[in-house]
Amino acid sequence: MTATKGLEGIIAAQSSICSIVDGVLCYGGINVDELAEKASFEEVVYLLWNGKLPNRSQLDELNKNLGENAAVPKEVIDSIRSYPQGVHPMAILRTAVSLLGLYDQEAQDMSAEANLRKSIRLMAQTPTIVAAYARIRKGLEPVDPDPKMSLAENFLYMLTGEKPSETAIKAFNTALILHADHELNASTFAARVTVATLTDIYSGIVSAIGTLKGPLHGGANEAVAAMLAEIGSLENVEPYIRHALDNKQKIMGFGHRVYKNGDPRAKWLREMSKALTKQVGKEELYQMSVKIEEMVTSEKGLLPNVDFYSASVYTALGLESDLFTPIFAISRMSGWTAHIMEQYENNRLIRPRAEYTGPVNQHYIPIDQR
């Protein structure tokens, strides 16, 4: 047996949820371009969970269930108030989601019906947790979710207490769709490995959140936002990027292990960045991003991935950069729960082997002879 570093190129599971073939990303066989253009995020959630798009009554039922389950137990909100200042929001989310499992009476019910109900609650409550923490750390009271709003609109509403613009809702809905699932990425794989032991769904989601927290996975768009802030202006882009390239420094938001000819999601976020930054008077953010892309692509041959333009999109929406990865988690909750339910349906403990590289033919030496 020979190891492949990072399991690159290894087929580790079969799945009918999401595919990436010849650089084309599909959910349930539907090109993500079609979904980004035409679908609501709730339709995509249903698609990932059921393998087909919902009809009107099925979508209405899902929307109703999501709205009715968006409120978070008071004990979880009270716990968030007690968390120390300065903690990364992904650590907050990881802990709060774990707490949700303590207050869910069905947490240990492993039936398919109970796991679907838990998936609905997780999908509905994750935006509420992120928005509540965003306000609590500023000394503000959380805004209760509105059961009549879509997931995209409700999250933006709970952040500010004000109804967001249609442009903001549409942009955020599209961003949620683009981040919803991505085949067997690191956090999804972590979730499937966890629940393959037949532990509960909350344990699987906590594993996924902990994995997404890393800068090589979900934290990349936050790093892009930090880079844009450090550059500061369009005129500083060229010397900054030139210095980074000359010193072989990694520029976040470029390249992807799966996509060799560009991330298909990036073009959508690029257009959203252009429109949103213009609407809010922050066009320089988009212009800086375009200049960075031109330089990195020209010099390194690397194309932007989903994280690169999402940084300027979320900044234009008024979101703080350390909330970018929790927002990623809000979207990816749809894919994580879909993969967990699929794993439960046809489960086998995931237990790969390792290529041993240590010493051989060793013997025990008494301690006074060492």
- Alpha carbons within 13 angstroms on the beta-carbon side of residue 20 total 18
Q: What pairs with residue 18 in β-bridges? A: 27
Within the chain, strands assigned E span 18-21, 24-27, 30-31
SS3 annotation, 274-327: HHHHHHCCCHHHHHHHHHHHHHHHHHHCCCECHHHHHHHHHHHCCCCHHHHHHH
Task: Report the alpha-carbon distance of residue 258 to residue 23 in Å, rounded.
Answer: 8
Is 307 in the active site? yes
SS3 103: coil
Closest CA to 166 of 152, 176, 147: 152
Enumerate residues 6+ apart whose C-beta is below 8 A from 303: 254, 255, 259, 261, 262, 263, 266, 293, 297
Task: Report the alpha-carbon distance of residue 333 to residue 28 in Å, rounded.
Answer: 16
SS3 58: helix
- Within 10 angstroms of residue 61's Cβ, the number of other Cβ atoms is 13
Which one of 307, 339, 363, 368 is the catalytic residue?
Answer: 307
Q: What are phi and psi of 21, to 5 degrees?
A: -125, 125
SS3 370: coil
**């990195």: which residue's tokens?**
296
**Pairing of the two strands 24-27 and 30-31:** antiparallel
Which one of 179, 182, 256, 339 is the catalytic residue?
Answer: 256
What residues are annotated to the active site? 256, 307
